[in-house]
Amino acid sequence: MTTVRTPDPNPGWLSDEELEEARRRLPLVYVEAIPVRVDGMGVVTEVGMLLRVNSAGSMSRTIVSGRVLRGETLRDALYRHLEKDLGPMAFPQLPASPVPFSVAEYLPFPSPTKFTDDRQHAVALAYVIPVTGTCDPRQDALELTWMTPEEAASPRIADELEGGRGALLRAGLASVGVLP
């Protein structure tokens, strides 16, 4: 499954051609974020799922995801991608520590990792990020749908997620104690 992406207005240190060449030769580092709403006790009450159209014209769900640019901290990359996908008024609450709940390795072919990305070999650091503001999806997202953790972790939604991200979503929700 190929995903249509809006070109990044700040592609970092590589031209489009150089990025394609790097993707053929090297694993790239990404951050992924599961946007959530929490109650006053910090318990996750809602999970934000982005809806996108892929290059084949079918709809799919996904989470916030993007490359870490050269010289960019993980915190800055998370903030940039959250703002890019959710809008400037989302007000993400970044973690005090940049330690992810999981590291996902995406390969361009079926593999034991269960995560795939037709374009490249990528290593993604995954986070659960509370957002407190108004989310207005930008870039190539059509909408952001808020779901209960149980709805988001359901087999129906997992099947709509790209590249095996259903397993990553369930692991993220388990890491914050809302799924067994």
In the prediction, which pLDDT does 166 show?
94
Q: Domain spans of the chain?
A: 16-175
In the prediction, which pLDDT does 1 show?
44
What predicted TM-score, i.e. pTM, was given to this entire model? 0.87
* Mean pLDDT score of the chain: 89
In the prediction, which pLDDT does 10 show?
57
Which of 129, 141, 108 lies closest to 28, judged by CA? Answer: 108
pLDDT reading at 13 higher than 60: yes
Q: What is the mean pLDDT of residues 1-21?
A: 64
C-alpha angle 52-57-63 in degrees, rounded to nearest 5:
20
Determine how many CB atoms are found less than 10 A away from the CB of residue 48: 23
Question: In this structure, which CATH number among 3.90.79.10, 1.10.940.10, 2.60.200.20, 2.40.40.20 belongs to the domain 16-175?
Answer: 3.90.79.10
pLDDT reading at 9 higher than 60: no
Whole-angstrom Cα distance, residue 117 to residue 119?
5
CB 120 within 8 A of CB 140: no
In the prediction, which pLDDT does 75 show?
96
pLDDT reading at 2 higher than 70: no
Instruction: Give the confidence band of 25 by pLDDT, cuts at 50, 70, 90.
Output: confident
Condensed to tens digits (0 to 9), the pLDDT of residues 104-154 reads 999 998 888 889 998 889 999 999 999 999 999 987 788 999 999 999 999
Mode of pairing for the β-strands spanning 59-62 and 64-67: unpaired
